[in-house]
Amino acid sequence: MEQRYCPLCKELNHCGANSGDCWCFHTEIPAELLERVPLELSGKACICQRCVEAFKKH
């Protein structure tokens, strides 16, 4: 999986970290959601905003 895909839903994550700013810099990512990322992708692929928002709603 490439870094530009969300490790949870496999859709494009639209990460802007390489350009210097990303929505995720201003959002708290719940620890429980981070734990769902497969170990081999942890710290290598960003969770997308849609997955973060969906998790926070439930």
Residue found under tokens 């997308």 = 48
Number of separate domains in the chain: 1
Residue 26 covered by a domain: yes
What are the residues facing 46 on neighbouring strands?
A: none
pLDDT in tens, the chain (58 residues): 568 899 999 999 888 777 777 888 888 999 999 999 999 998 888 899 999 999 999 8
Residue 28 covered by a domain: yes
Residue 5 covered by a domain: no
Whether 13 contacts 47, CB under 8 Å: yes
Residue 7 covered by a domain: no
Q: What is the pLDDT of residue 55?
A: 96
Residue 33 covered by a domain: yes
Residue 31 covered by a domain: yes
Residue 49 covered by a domain: yes
Residue 27 covered by a domain: yes
Give CA–CA dist 14/16, Å, rounded.
6
Domain that holds residue 21: 17-57
